[in-house]
Amino acid sequence: MTGARLNWRIVVGGGALLVLALIAIAAPLLAPVDPLEQDLFLELLPPWWQADADPTRALGADSLGRDVLSRLIHAARPALIVAVVAGVLTMLLGTALGLLAGYMGGMIDVVISRMVDIWTSFPPVLLAIMLVALIGTGLHSVIIAIVLIDWTRFCRVVRSETLAQTEMEYIDAAVIGGLKRGAILFREVLPNVLPLVIVLLTLEMSIAIIVEAILSFVGLSVSSDSPTWGGMIAEGRQVIHQAWWVMAFPMGLILIAVLALNLLGDGLKTALDPVLRR
């Protein structure tokens, strides 16, 4: 994909994500205090710009007196791990099945397409909660749940795009050129499907962040003592009337992360399209 142009969406979206990633990687160095340290004297302390704030607790403290800023920073880790790992695994599974269905056709296509139909008829969040309840809580089960549920998103799009590409005469030319089916699939079809897959990946990553937040909101993600954005929202909800900041800051960060991913996806869409590019 050489020659892809940078546009402002890629710069802004990608930049914001880069900052988030750096924060997640350097969390222990950046967090001003231990995110688990409780100090009941500091209970529901307001953020710095309000009266009776504490300078060591820049974004205030939650109902157990834990530092909101430090918790936010540490919670970026599970969120981004889920986004990247679940996103990539979902992409691999869905794209492989979509290519197979679109290119092989016949019974293989029928079976995969029916599976997609059945899958998408379940409400995804409910399915995720059921799955995690079944395989147990923890980061890896959140990732497994997302992959098992969301592969259909890639599969559908990749299948229909593969079908469209297979109609093209360059595929005939490749067949006549003596290429084998596997070579045609990877060398001729895949490069034409790839831009779409990359754009979908950014979408999938933002969905993964939201799903992880939902699962940690209902307490089904990582264990409750390590901070997550969803978990913080759940805690903040109980004290929403006394301390809005406990809930508002993690919500804001989720918003920024999702927005950045969508911007990046939009930017990549124009940058990677061989016809729109130039």
Partner 1 sequence: MNPVLDIRDLRVSLRRGAHLVRDVSLSVDAGEVHGLVGESGAGKTMIARAVLGILPDAIRVTGGTVRFRGEDLLRLPPKRLRSLLGREIALIPQDPLTGLNPARRISAQMTDMLRHHLGQSRGEARVNALRLLQEVQIRDPEQVLDRYPHELSGGMRQRVLIAIAFSAEPSLIVADEPTTALDVTVQKQILRLIRQMQERHGTAVLFVTHDLGIVAKVCHRVTVLHTGQVVEQGGIADIMSAHATPFTRALMDATPRYDQPADALHPVPEHVHQELRAAARRFDEANP
Report the candidate in 85, 78, 86, 60 with the shortest Cα–Cα distance to residue 227.
78
Q: Apex CA 199: angle with CA 196 and CA 200, to 5°?
A: 85
Taking the least distance from each CB to partner 1, the nearer of 29 and 275 is 275
CB of 222 to partner 1, least distance (A): 40
Structure tokens at 210: 């939201």
Taking the least distance from each CB to partner 1, the nearer of 124 and 195 is 195
Please, are residues 182 and 223 in contact by the beta-carbon 8 Å criterion? no
Q: Provide the binding-site residues for partner 1, judged by CB under 8 A.
A: 105-106, 167-170, 172-180, 188, 191-192, 194, 274-275, 278
What is the DSSP secondary structure assignment for residue 226, as one 8-state letter? S
Phi, psi angle pair for 31, to nearest 5°: -65, 125
CB of 157 to partner 1, least distance (A): 16
CB of 173 to partner 1, least distance (A): 6
Side-chain half-sphere exposure of 83, counting CA atoms within 13 A: 25
Report the candidate in 170, 119, 94, 201 with the shortest Cα–Cα distance to residue 102.
94
CB of 169 to partner 1, least distance (A): 4
CB of 95 to partner 1, least distance (A): 15
CB of 170 to partner 1, least distance (A): 4
CB atoms under 10 Å from CB of 50, counted, come to 10
Please, are residues 36 and 190 in contact by the beta-carbon 8 Å criterion? no
Taking the least distance from each CB to partner 1, the nearer of 11 and 168 is 168
CB of 9 to partner 1, least distance (A): 22
Taking the least distance from each CB to partner 1, the nearer of 177 and 252 is 177
Question: What is the rounded distance in angstroms from the CA atom of residue 140 to the CA atom of residue 151?
Answer: 16
Please, are residues 125 and 214 in contact by the beta-carbon 8 Å criterion? yes
Which residues is 67 bridged to in the sheet? Answer: 61
Taking the least distance from each CB to partner 1, the nearer of 28 and 191 is 191
Taking the least distance from each CB to partner 1, the nearer of 141 and 162 is 162
The full DSSP string for 131-172 is HHHHH-SSHHHHHHHHHHHHHHHHHHHHHHHHHHHHTSHHHH
Taking the least distance from each CB to partner 1, the nearer of 59 and 268 is 268
What is the DSSP secondary structure assignment for residue 274, as one 8-state letter? T
Taking the least distance from each CB to partner 1, the nearer of 122 and 186 is 186
CB of 1 to partner 1, least distance (A): 9
